[in-house]
Amino acid sequence: MIYDIVIIGGGPIGIACGLEAQKKGLSYLILEKGPIVNSLYNYPVNMQFFSSSERLEIDEIPFISKEAKPSRIEALEYYRRIATSNNLNIHLFEKVENVSKNDDFFSVKTSKDTYQAKNVIVATGFYDIPNKLGIPGEELAKVAHYYKDPHFYAGQKVAVVGASNSAIDAALECWRKGAEVTLIIRGKSVGDRVKYWVRPDVINRIEEGSIKAYYNANITQITATTLDIKTDQKEITIDNDFVLALIGYRPNFTFLEKMGIRLSDNEKRIPSYHEETMETNVKGIFLAGVICGGMETHKWFIENSRIHAKMIVKTILENQN
């Protein structure tokens, strides 16, 4: 079978693309390397979204949440029910390994099979590859680039690296479960984009001394029991049991380049695509969602990229006529 569309990524935007293709009568297949909305599944267990529930809706399907800002578990239920109740053609736990062009079709090789498609939509997000500190000791088992549950860190000396939502949420949650928390912040303050109801909370905890914070600081070395920290004023060593290096994530640029998609030469690494059609420089390959922003991972969200599904499917239909 030759599909009209193969969609790489079964997150909210990949699901939105599948819904739109299904409504327009196009044959499609969604390929997801993990469970449904794999990235959301791997978010911290207690995460609460910055966006309200209606802004996370896709295909005008109502998202009802207990509070204005839905939780991770509510989002998982919402997107899972959409996928199952609409009988979306989605293959789970099947990782895409390679995409190549054969004459008029694309060959999409996965960990389980190979599929043929007239068009490919890449909706893989950015959560797969963490940014690294690049320092001695980062390979130690005590260092994590993903954070899940604060209970694990109760009674431990935990250093949290970062100043964005993920780092600040982790610092507060771990402290509330009894961890001794130290924040290592590269800049001069807690990040401006931290959720507005969370930022005052962490600043108050820092000011009262419940959470120790070092600003204009970087970790220079990690050992089994300590951290070396350099600030603009001094160098210190502190005792440490665990490090949460939550300094952001990046799209899989190598995967994009292997498909022939051009990236900008600057540090933003923005993929080449047409803003009105979402088609890349490779005819028949489209981008959807946060991956469109390259390293600017704060630019695209569910709420402002769900429209990509309609834009892409409209273009594909027009190209067929």
pLDDT at 321 over 80: no
Contacts of 216 (CB under 8 A, 6+ apart): 185, 186, 187, 188, 231, 232
Taken in order of first residue, the domains within the chain and their CATH numbers are: 2-129+249-320 (3.50.50.60), 132-245 (3.50.50.60)
CA–CA separation, 185 vs 216, rounded Å?
Answer: 6
Beta bridge partners of 222: 227
Structure token pair of residue 272: 């080449």
Provide the pLDDT for residue 49: 92
> Nearest-CA neighbor of 3 among 113, 118, 97?
118
Q: Please, what's the largest Cα pairwise distance for the chain?
A: 67
Give tens-digit pLDDT for 278-319: 999 999 999 999 999 999 988 898 999 999 999 999 999 999
pLDDT at 103 over 90: no
Specify the pTM.
Answer: 0.92
DSSP 208: T
User: Letter for the amino acid at 194?
Assistant: V
| pLDDT interval class at 115 (50, 70, 90) | very high
Question: 93, 101 in Cβ contact below 8 A?
Answer: no
pLDDT at 320 over 80: yes
